[in-house]
A and B are shown apart, each in its own frame.
Chain A
Amino acid sequence: MSVPIRILCIDDEARILRALKALFREHEVYVTDDPDTAVELAGRHDIDVVVCDQRMPKRLGVEVLRAIKQRHPRALRILLTGYSDLSAILGSVNDGEVFRYVNKPWDNTELRQVVQTAARIARDAPVLAPELSSEGEKEAARRVAQILVIEDDPETQARLREILMPHYQVRFATSPERALQVLEQHEVGVVISETDSGRADLTGLIKELKRHHPMIAAVVLTDRANAQLAIDLINEGQVFRMLLKPVRMGSCRLSVEAGLSRYWQLKQNPDAAARYVVAADAEAPRERHWVNESLLKRILALPKRWLISPSRSKPDAEAAYY
């Protein structure tokens, strides 16, 4: 509670704003119900953390967060919402790149914890440019980093092959074990994964992988209209993009290109990876791991392919933030 955090709260319900202001009374809290004012306030007060409602009459929370991301990218964005439909959640990942998704009614201790963590990261971790600037760098990224597809549906596999093969080095895996083999042998920048292969729940693998290797971008394909699954993947898996099946050429290409770009930037700037850490034990203590022991060991043993080592000397870069 040492340094006051600068928090911006956006909600159309005045009583929610008053409650948040009281909850964070030790900090510097700015509140507004107007999306346009919000964007302006974020820049003017050099806000650390934005807490925003999803459903507001003037504009959706995702749109406000996207505008703030452009204007003031340093702030981390938290979506606070009472009702989640899948399209809103997909939007919040793909457009708003939200740090966390918190349900109303929230838990005070938990929300304080999330905001603390977010503020620390917002202040310490450098901000990345939206994408790679030069064609040369993009070319280098494509040459060095590979794309791993975890998918056992032959139809989707064929579709991805058709979309990605002409542009990237793509490897296919149909099981978590096989996927790890690829990760061990090759430098993978983007993982494209189904949420549920016929044999195994793949979300656990994604979450555990992201937990220990936050620089790898995860693109998740789903045909399950399950809002909670998507929220968990944001909070615990920090997925980069979430695409609905059937896979469309345009959005798939864009997501992979942006993911590779992100990987390449993080490789050169590992301190920024803190911005994409998953909710860890400090936020949500847990007894079990997402995957079994042997897989976990292999995930932990994967080489960290930073170009320079992170300024925090701990080998587990993300552990330093908690």
Chain B
Amino acid sequence: MGVWILAVCWLATAGGAFFLYQQWQRAKQALEESEIRLLKMKDSQSQVIHTTKLASLGQMIAGVAHEMNTPLGFIKSNAEVVRELLGEHRAMLVRWIDFMQKLQRADLSQPNATVAVRRLAERIESEYRAQQQLDEADGLLEDAHDGLVQLATLVRNLKGFARVDRDGMDQLDVNESVESALTIANHQLRDRITVERQLGEVPKVRAMPSQINQVVLNLITNAAQAMGDQGTLTIGTRRNGEMVEIAVQDSGCGIPPEVLPKIFDPFFTTKPIGEGTGLGLAIVHKIVTAHGGNVAVDSEVGRGTRFTVSLPVDHGALKRERPAAMTPKPGAEDPNP
């Protein structure tokens, strides 16, 4: 009997142990699966961030292409037309030379010779005046030159925006970021939105310039989209204590209070599917906090929204600049007396 009881107990224990083991296996499997899911999600998230970067690159290129195509249009056309005009001018000169040669050979003692010569000279001259090739060419070349200056400025701004030449931390004047981001965003704004600049004298911040440019561009793009057909975009910079502030304000639709807490969440978007990634503001938030700064938002439905990015002043830069700029020591210019 006792053996039976023992056997039953043993079986029960073994069954229980087996059951527990199975549960443990299942839990482990679930954990592994969720870990894989998490990894996959992280992967897709970084993919989306990468895609967003490409999208903003595409947007930048489209904008710049538009800005460039107008000057390219008239420069290209003018170069060709000036060449044609010079051809016409050359033909004119050939006629003049021909005339001079005839004049040299002519027998001016003939009774009507001087009258005939004068007539011919007058005809060529009036023909020339009527055409005015050189004046026209002058004007076209002047326009082409202006256009080239415009293109050069654009390329400089573009370089300033992308900062391909110097990546990494650097001293940055945020006003430069604002200007270059406005250049890039110009094609989204120019037909319908008035831009007001309120840029103050601000100390430099220590930052990754290309990232701060991205922040400003994202805020401008958001503002432009919030305003629909018309509006005013106000961009201001100022020093507030130990921080430098960049404020981007639109006169758009505003953000409802219930949505406001979510706007910096990754993948949160109010735009139709396919139009927004929901990462624009998340990226702004991530970049700014990584720089030791913060983003504040102030919005009223129907009136507009203001985003304020605050970045810490670069004290290193201030200390380094101050002795040189404010207390120049006598004889400092000559290090080898």
- Overall SS of chain B's interface: helix
Contacts of B68 in A (CB 8 A): 82
Which of B13-21, B93-101, B140-148, B234-242 participates in binding chain A?
B140-148
* Chain A residues near B190 (CB-CB < 8 A): 55, 57
Question: Which residues of A94-115 have CB atoms within 8 Å of chain B's CB atoms?
Answer: 103-106, 108
A180 within 8 A of B: no
Contact B191 A55 (CB under 8 A): yes
Interface-central residue, A16, A20, A83, A103, by most chain B CB under 10 Å:
A83
B76 engages A22 (CB within 8 Å)? no
Smallest beta-carbon distance B230→chain A, Å: 12
Q: For the complex, is B47 an interface residue (Cβ under 8 Å from A)?
A: no
Judge whether A82 and B73 touch: CB under 8 Å. yes
- A interface bracket (residues with beta carbon within 8 Å of B): 20 to 34
B233 to chain A, nearest CB (A): 15
Within 8 A of A (CB), among B189-230: 190-191
CA distance A20 to B191 in the complex (A): 23
Q: For the complex formed, measure the closest distance between the CB of B193 and the CB atoms of chain A, giving whole angstroms.
A: 11
Chain A residue at minimal CB-CB distance from B80: A108
Complex: how many Å from CA A83 to CA B188? 11
Q: In the complex, what residues of A have CB within 8 A of residue B146's CB?
A: 15
A-B contacts counted at CB < 8 A amount to 70
> Are A19 and B191 in contact, CB atoms less than 8 angstroms apart?
no
**Known contacts A19-B78, A22-B81; is-contact A105 B72 (Cβ 8 Å):** yes
- B68, B70, B75, B187: residue with the most chain A Cβ atoms closer than 10 Å: B70
User: Is A18 part of the contact surface with B, judged by Cβ < 8 Å?
Assistant: yes
On whether the beta carbons of A82 and B140 are closer than 8 Å, the reply is: no
Q: Which residue of A lies closest to B74 (CB)?
A: A19
Query: Which of A13, A55, A56, A108 is B77 in contact with, Cβ under 8 Å?
Result: A108
Which residues in B have their C-beta under 8 angstroms from that of A55? 66, 187, 190-191
Q: Complex formed: what's the CA distance from A57 to B186 in Å?
A: 12
Is A254's beta carbon under 8 Å from chain B? no
B108 in contact (CB, < 8 A): no
Within 8 Å by CB of A57, from B70, B74, B81, B191, lies: B191
B140 CB contact (under 8 Å) in A19, A57, A60: A19
Interface: B139 (CB within 8 A): yes
Interface string of A54-67 (1 = CB under 8 A from B): 01110010000000
Q: Which residues of A sit under 8 angstroms from B78, Cβ to Cβ? A: 19, 22
Query: Considering the chains assembled together, what is the distance between the CA atoms of A106 and B74 in angstroms?
Result: 9
Closest Cβ–Cβ distance, residue B83 to chain A (whole Å) = 10
Within 8 A of A (CB), among B39-79: 62, 65-66, 68-78
Q: Say yes or no: is B32 at the interface (Cβ < 8 Å to chain A).
A: no
**Inter-chain contact B72/A19, CB cutoff 8 Å:** no
Complex Cα spacing A83 to B72, Å: 13
Closest CB in chain B relative to A117 CB, distance in Å: 19
Nearest B residue to A111 by beta-carbon distance? Answer: B77
> Which residues of chain B (94-151) have a CB below 8 Å from chain A?
136, 139-140, 143, 146-147
Which of A15, A18, A80, A103 has the most chain B CB atoms closer than 10 A to its own CB? A15
* Interfacial chain A residues near B80, Cβ < 8 Å: 108
Q: Which residues does chain B contribute within 8 Å of A104, judged by CB atoms?
A: 69-70, 72-73
| Inter-subunit contact A22/B136 (CB<8 Å) | yes
Query: Is B81 within 8 A of A83, CB to CB?
Result: no
Q: Determine if A83 and B62 form an interchain contact, defined as CB atoms under 8 angstroms apart.
A: yes
Q: For residue B72, which residues in chain A have a CB less than 8 angstroms away from its CB?
A: 104-105
Given known contacts A55-B190, A105-B77, what 13 new A-B pairs fall within 8 Å (CB)?
A15-B71, A15-B147, A16-B74, A18-B74, A19-B140, A22-B81, A25-B136, A82-B68, A82-B73, A83-B187, A105-B73, A106-B73, A108-B81
Of the A-B pairs whose beta carbons lie under 8 Å apart in the complex, a sample of 7, sorted by A's number, is A15-B147, A16-B73, A22-B85, A23-B77, A25-B136, A55-B190, A56-B191
